[in-house]
Amino acid sequence: MNAVGIDLGGTSAKLAVVDSEGKILQHRKSVWDRREAVDDILVPLIAELKDILRSTQEGGSDVAGIGLSTPGYLNDDRTGIIYAANLQMLNGFPLVKTLEEETGMRVMMDTDVNAGGLAEAVLGAGKDFKRVLFVSIGTGLGGSLIVDRKLVRHTRHGIGHLGHIILQPDGEICGCGNRGCVETLVSAQGIHRIAEKILPHYPTSILYEYSRSGKKIEALDIYLAARDKSDTAAVEILQQEGAWLGLALYNFCAICAPEVIVVGGGLSEAGNFILDKARDVLNERLNPDLYGKVEIKQSHFGVNAGVVGNAVNVMQLIRKNIT
């Protein structure tokens, strides 16, 4: 069985035909020149979608359905977006109905963190475990829980807002209005803040020069400086970020009791510099009598977790309807 996964972002969409093993058979990208009206997004997206469906069918393969994830808040029945700051023209628009009418196929919509988690739990780094917590760290931090290869939905769509657990009551102000949420520390903005505090103590660091030139330091810059140049400041920044991540994961374990935590999203590119420290902090605090052993793994699908997970999501739905 094959399905199309669509990972809709703020400025572009990734589309892929994925088989039931998670292998990407074809992929495309739809980029929008304008983002003012619904059609600025939908016209190029639907053209790309029809093209990928046509070429798959011409190649002799069938597509069972289409899975789609979007940023923002979805409505209760997951047929459209209530609010997405970066895709405001789609707020309230019947996205699923429109795509179903245009393609004649079943379309299933979900949040991006649910899609990524499903990909990892069913086919990726969490596939050998029963209870998988997926944590995606990028601009913000989100999580999804998958038990027995099925998404847990005890709030409207998932397991609540892990990024807004408070780690530091007197910390920085979060977008939600509170102070010191996980997201203010463990995210792209969090690592940037840590870098700004640490770098003045390391004036010989290549990152210090970089920051003085007015460039914004990204997680990948820090990772590369640590890996390729053994830059002491870069290692220190990643370790501090890893320590906050470990503390956050401990709190997530207390809520979700996973057997494995799969870390994905942009910040996971910094890999083991962050994850090793997070493992140490988690293991120091974790009571094995309560939680057993909890593994931390890096995402298997990386930037493709969204498209693969969306395809898995619709394949699961169709299989359920068949059997």
Binding site for Zn ion (CB under 5 A): 164, 174, 176, 178, 181
Please say which residue, 141 or 207, places its beta carbon nearer to Zn ion: 141
> Buried b vs exposed e over 158-183: b needs ≥16 C-beta within 10 Å?
bbbbbbbbebeeebeebeeeeebbbb
Please say which residue, 27 or 179, places its beta carbon nearer to Zn ion: 179
What DSSP element (H or E) covers 141?
A: strand 141-147
In whole angstroms, how close is the CB of 265 to Zn ion at the nearest point?
17
Measured distance CA(226)–CA(272) in Å, rounded: 11
Specify whether the CB–CB gap between 313 and 65 falls below 8 A: no
Reduced to 3 states (helix: H, G, I; strand: E, B; else coil), residue 201 is helix
In whole angstroms, how close is the CB of 192 to Zn ion at the nearest point?
17
Helix count and strand count (H, E) for the chain = 11, 12
The two beta strands, 66-70 and 107-111, are parallel
> Buried b vs exposed e over 253-292: b needs ≥16 C-beta within 10 Å?
beebebbbbbbbbbbbbbeebbbebbbebbeeebeeeebe
Measured distance CA(230)–CA(29) in Å, rounded: 36
In whole angstroms, how close is the CB of 250 to Zn ion at the nearest point?
18
Please say which residue, 182 or 308, places its beta carbon nearer to Zn ion: 182
Please say which residue, 177 or 214, places its beta carbon nearer to Zn ion: 177
Picking from 303, 279, 265, the residue whose alpha carbon sits closest to that of residue 136 is 265
Specify whether the CB–CB gap between 111 and 118 falls below 8 A: no
Please say which residue, 28 or 179, places its beta carbon nearer to Zn ion: 179
In whole angstroms, how close is the CB of 184 to Zn ion at the nearest point?
7
Measured distance CA(4)–CA(16) in Å, rounded: 6
In whole angstroms, how close is the CB of 302 to Zn ion at the nearest point?
26
Please say which residue, 151 or 181, places its beta carbon nearer to Zn ion: 181
In whole angstroms, how close is the CB of 164 to Zn ion at the nearest point?
4
Please say which residue, 14 or 164, places its beta carbon nearer to Zn ion: 164
Measured distance CA(88)–CA(154) in Å, rounded: 27
In whole angstroms, how close is the CB of 190 to Zn ion at the nearest point?
12
Radius of gyration of the chain, Cα coordinates, nearest whole angstrom: 20
Please say which residue, 81 or 174, places its beta carbon nearer to Zn ion: 174
In whole angstroms, how close is the CB of 84 to Zn ion at the nearest point?
18
